[in-house]
Amino acid sequence: MTYATLPAKISLSLLFLIVVFAGVPHTRAQSVAIDREVEQFQAFFLERFFSVSLDEFNEGAYSLPQSAPQAATFRFLEQLPPYMHALIPARSEWNRTYNGITLKNCMSQHPPANQFPYVLDNRVISIEMAILSCLELQDRSFAGSDSMELTALTAVFREQARGTANQINLNDEKLKTLYRKGYRVFWARQGQYNYSCASCHVQNAGNTLAGELISPALGHTVAFPVYSQTRASQTGNGWVTLHEQYRRCMSRMGAVAPPLGDRRLLALEVFQTMNDVSVPLKAPQSRP
Ligand code: HEC
């Protein structure tokens, strides 16, 4: 064998390996792949923003060193958060009895907020879905999944798990399927401007777009719901759910956003929550 033929041999064996691995059964490859993908996803941000630890990726764009001036105002505001007037009544609602049941009791049948979405009776459920079914037992129902009351109640449930590490079952088949679907929504280019979520929240995290610092995708789920002061002053309802935020960003991309309740939004939530594994919850939070 001459040295000249060696590279050719190496590339041939590489080709062979690729062909062999491409044939690995889909499901087995999938479970190995998700752990690795999550690890690589987190590593990308930890390397790029090396002064920020995994625990600190829980304040959206304010997690980044680039945000220093705005972050100072944000932290000051968080001492007396602008959402308190909307949160306090929801806290008392949590303990009020309707139809013989309190939300506190009903929701204690579920795992704490850092373990959602999870699978119950073969169905992936979000916190909003769990609260809605408790409200039904209480013989109460609110207008929709974006109603002010429901989001405030979600905030009450989420704040109870503040500081606990986000956990999600990476091995559950139902969650894995949604992760895959969410993965495609996240990475696919769509809309008039041909952006993907990653174009902004991975490639351009830490850069500024029209005066706004773009948040890293890592940690997106742990801050929600957020309370936007601009929105509060415009509509009287400052609460923004994660799914509403997804819809806002899709419109920003010039894409048609799926309606609230659509599977694609839940899939994105599962995909992003899996990527946020181990990041401590810090919800709710205020936004401009
Ligand atoms: C053109 C750039 C752009 C694209 C594409 C984009 N976003 Fe955003 N997104 C923003 C900006 C700007 C904000 C507001 C500043 C911030 O917090 O990042 C934002 C905010 C968010 C937030 C709230 C962060 C927080 O803590 O308040 C989430 C979650 C989010 N985007 C998810 C997504 C998802 C999922 C997609 C794809 C469906 C997407 N974005 C596509 C620019 C974009």
How confident is the model over 61-100, as pLDDT tens digits? 999 999 998 999 999 988 999 999 999 999 999 999 999 9
d(CA 97, CA 209): 47
Distance 116 CA to ligand 1 centre (A): 21
Please indicate, yes or no, if residue 148 is contained in any of the structural domains: yes
d(CA 157, CA 17): 49
Look at phi and psi of residue 279 and say left if phi exceeds 0, alpha if psi is from -120 to 50, else beta: beta
pLDDT 10s digits, 169-209: 988 999 999 999 999 999 999 999 999 999 999 999 999 99
Please indicate, yes or no, if residue 155 is contained in any of the structural domains: yes
Integer CA distances (angstroms), 179 to 217, 270, 274, in order: 15, 6, 8
* Shared-domain flag, residues 62 and 146: no
For atom 9 of ligand 1, which residue has the closest CA?
249
Per the structure block, which two tokens stand in for 226? 């957020």
pLDDT of residue 7: 40
pLDDT 10s digits, 110-126: 999 999 999 999 999 99
Mutating to test ligand 1, I would choose from 45, 215, 239 the residue with most ligand atoms within 8 A of its C-beta, which is: 215
Instruction: Please say whether the beta carbons of 58 and 223 come within 8 A.
Output: yes
Please indicate, yes or no, if residue 55 is contained in any of the structural domains: yes
Higher pLDDT, 136 or 11: 136
Residue type, 219: G
Q: Model pTM greater than 0.75?
A: yes
d(CA 238, CA 10): 60
Per the structure block, which two tokens stand in for 158? 């989420």
* CATH number (domain holding residue 74): 1.10.760.10
Where in the sequence is the domain holding 212, given as residue range(s)?
A: 28-79+165-287
d(CA 266, CA 274): 12
From the CB of 195, is ligand 1 less than 6 Å away? yes
* Mean per-residue pLDDT, 242-247: 97
Please indicate, yes or no, if residue 15 is contained in any of the structural domains: no
Residue 242: DSSP 8-state: H
Distance 218 CA to ligand 1 centre (A): 11
Please indicate, yes or no, if residue 134 is contained in any of the structural domains: yes
* Shared-domain flag, residues 173 and 224: yes
d(CA 182, CA 40): 17
Count other Cβ atoms within 10 Å, centred on residue 123. Answer: 10
* Shared-domain flag, residues 107 and 134: yes
